[in-house]
Each structure stands twice: as structure tokens, then as C-alpha cells.
Amino acid sequence: MFDSITPGQAELVCGAMSTLVDRRSRGDLGRGEALIDAASALLFHHPAGDGGRGCRGVPPDALARAVPAGGVLATETAELLAVTALADGRADPDRLLAAVTYADALGVQAGWVEQLRDIAGGRFERALADMIRRNTATFPGLGDAEGQPHMQPYTGRTDADKRLADSFQELEAYPAETFGHAFWVHFRRHGFRFPGQEGAFNGAFAVPHDGLHVLSGYDTSIQGELMVSTFTGEMHRTDALGAHILPVIFEWHVGMEVNGIGAQHDALDPWKFVVALARGTRTRVDVLDPGWDFRHEARRPLADLRHEYGIPPLEDRYRPSGPEVNVTAEADPTAA
């Protein structure tokens, strides 16, 4: 990510980011300013250190003259600017439209551009419905012909549902170092129901999503959910922002209900977020690819998969914080 950026381009991107942050705060850096520092240090390798306060504002036309329109760098820049406009936890229409203007100048045409335009214009339901549709489309087998997700299909369990649930229970007997056993532990410790059990989430969603929790090391706190979705979007790349990253920023940072789980505020930590972006980008195997085979991978050592997939280690300082999501009545914190 941003592999081709030059120092001059990095300075201009920081200047553009600085026009999109909330400058109302004094003293400590706000989240938008912290995002500038995190991106500068971890993505551009050109530390700013002052939240862009020393940067000269860069208008869209000036940025477009330095960043070739329609290329990878233009796309990465426009996406980062979109997140910058939301980093302080407010969906301010003027800043959202400013991010759209940058995207237009950079020649970026993507679903998320229209999502921001809709939200800035008060068309919330249309934007959020588009996010759900796009997210569903990235999970093979999750939606119906119209793209509507079947999130809990195991009501009135069939024999096939029971066999499916039993196949996940069998992961307990896998060697402790395997991905499959770690997946079983993840479910049991949190009290999640396995696909096939009454009330469980659809395996088409739960297997890759919770598998990515295990592979990436991100926990089930609200911040961890934001991070794993960010990681997932960059790993998958297709529609990363509109399908995976913006929905969780709006739901758990801005506080707008998207998928019915429950809106929260202030879950985005800029440094942890940028690390999740970078880790997802460097991951070489796409778990959302229809050809990815959980049953085959479940028998392999988790450490080997992380190495083969190219998943960078997660430093303790970049781990999520906050209480984890547990189904308390069914959770077994001693599962190992």
C-alpha cells in the first residue's frame, strides 16, 4: 500500500488530509490529526509528527496534478482521504463532499464515492443499503438472487444442518496447534453457535469472518471487529472501502446503525487502523475467494498458515482494546 509514493507526493497527500480533519480541538491531537501522523509514519515512511498542522492545505486540482488519475496510488489516496473525513467520528456533510471532490479529481469512480455523496445529502437509507449489498456480495454463498443476506438460516434444523454442526464440533479433536482447533476454541470461548446450530450465523459468513479473527489475531471487541473488517477489506481488495471499511466506521465510530448489531462511537484508533490496513494489504491469500477451502486449511498448523498467507505479526501496542463480545450464557472461557 502506497508502495510507489514519493516524498513529494506524500507531502501533498498529508496536505490534502489536513484539509479534511476537525481542527476544533486544541492541545492533544484529534483522531484525524493522529491519522495523518500514523499514515505518514507507517504508510509513507515520511513522519509528520504534528498531525499535519504544519502542512499547507492542498486543493483537489493540485493533488491531481501530482498523483496520476485512475491509478493505484490515486485509488489509495482517495480512500485514505475518505477515512480522514470521518476519523473524528462525525459525518460532517461538508467534509464528506470535500472527500468526494478529491475522489472526482483523482479519477476514482467507486461505490463508496456515491455512498459518501448520499450520506452527505441525507440519503442515509440508500447508502447503508448499498453497503450491506456490497458486503454480502463479497461472501460467496451468503446472499440470495437479489443479494439479500441469509444471516441465520438454521431455524427448524434439518438433518443436513445437524451434520454441519457436528462437523464443527469435531474440530475440538484436532491437534492444538491447528487452525481448526483454534477456530473451535474461538467459538467456544465466546459462546458462539456453530453453523448448523439453531440461531447460528450462516456458515458462508461465519467461517471466513471468524476464521479471519483467528488468522489475523483481532479479538471480538467492537474495536477488534472494526480492525478485522479493515483487514478483511484490504485482503480482499475488491470493494474494500464500500463493502467492509466504511460500514464499520459508520456503525462503530460515527454511531450510525448499519446492520442491526448496534451503533457505537469512537472505535477507530488511527494507529491501529493504519496497521490493520497495512496487514491486510500484505496478506497474500484471500480467504473470501470461492476456492478457499476451510476444511483443508483447518488441518494445518495455524502458524504455518499465517506464514504462508503473509500475515504480518500483530504487535501488542496495535491490538484492539475493550470488552469482547461474548454470548455469556454459552461461553466457556476455559476452552483450550
Average pLDDT over residues 158-165: 96
φ and ψ at residue 327, rounded to 5 degrees: -90, 90
Cα radius of gyration (the chain): 20
Is 190's pLDDT higher than 60? yes
Neighbours of 41 (CB within 10 A): 15
* Range in 80-84, 318-322, 327-331 with the lowest mean pLDDT: 327-331
Average pLDDT over residues 1-7: 92
What pLDDT score does 9 carry? 95
What pLDDT score does 321 carry? 96
CB 58 within 8 A of CB 291: no
Average pLDDT over residues 147-176: 93
CA quadruple 284, 286, 291, 293: dihedral sign: positive
What pLDDT score does 26 carry? 47
What pLDDT score does 148 carry? 79
CA quadruple 303, 306, 310, 314: dihedral sign: negative
Is 147's pLDDT higher than 90? no
Q: How confident is the model at residue 296 (pLDDT cuts 50, 70, 90)?
A: very high
If one compares 328 and 33, the residue with the highest pLDDT of the two is 33
- Set of cell numbers at residue 72: 493505484
Average pLDDT over residues 36-63: 85
What pLDDT score does 206 carry? 98
What pLDDT score does 51 carry? 65
What pLDDT score does 188 carry? 96
Domain ranges of the chain: 7-122, 159-318
Q: How confident is the model at residue 149 (pLDDT cuts 50, 70, 90)?
A: confident
- Set of cell numbers at residue 282: 500484505
Is 145's pLDDT higher than 80? no
CA quadruple 3, 218, 113, 86: dihedral sign: negative
CB 246 within 8 A of CB 256: no
Largest CA distance in the chain: 65
Q: Using CA atoms, how far apart are residues 132 and 125, in angstroms rounded to an integer?
A: 11
* Contact residues for 182 (Cβ-Cβ < 8 A; gap 6+): 214, 302
Is 236's pLDDT higher than 50? yes
Q: How confident is the model at residue 156 (pLDDT cuts 50, 70, 90)?
A: confident
> For residue range 281-293, what is the model confidence (pLDDT) as tens digits?
999 999 999 999 9
Tell me the H-state helices in 51-196. Answer: 60-66, 72-86, 93-105, 111-120, 124-137, 159-169, 179-190
Of 48, 45, 24, nearest to 36 (Cα)? 48
Q: Using CA atoms, how far apart are residues 30 and 269, in angstroms rounded to an integer?
A: 11
> For residue range 248-275, what is the model confidence (pLDDT) as tens digits?
999 999 999 876 667 889 999 999 999 9
- Set of cell numbers at residue 268: 477507530
Is 25's pLDDT higher than 90? no
CA atoms within 13 A on the CB side of 84: 33
Q: How far, CA to CA in Å, does 65 sit from each of 7, 28, 60, 61, 150?
A: 15, 33, 9, 6, 45
Indicate the SS3 state at residue 99.
Answer: helix
Provide the mean pLDDT of the chain.
93
Tell me the H-state helices in 191-333. Answer: 203-216, 222-236, 246-249, 270-282, 294-298, 302-309
What pLDDT score does 223 carry? 96
